[in-house]
Amino acid sequence: MRAVEFAAVILAMLVPFVAIKSHDLAAYIYWTAVVSVYLAYISYRRWEVE
């Protein structure tokens, strides 16, 4: 399952370069959103496991 989660995060991080083709502040905001969602997800998963 961790491999799938890792692949999903990597693919989500590549979106600005593949689909949006942007190298400006929009990519930074997008990455911040992706990382925030991922951190919330792993935090939730940790509470679920414990």
Element (H, E) at 11: helix 2-15
Q: What is the pLDDT of residue 30?
A: 81
**Measured distance CA(12)–CA(9) in Å, rounded:** 5
Q: What is the pLDDT along the chain (50 residues), one digit of tens a residue?
A: 678 878 888 888 777 777 666 667 877 788 888 888 888 888 887 776 66
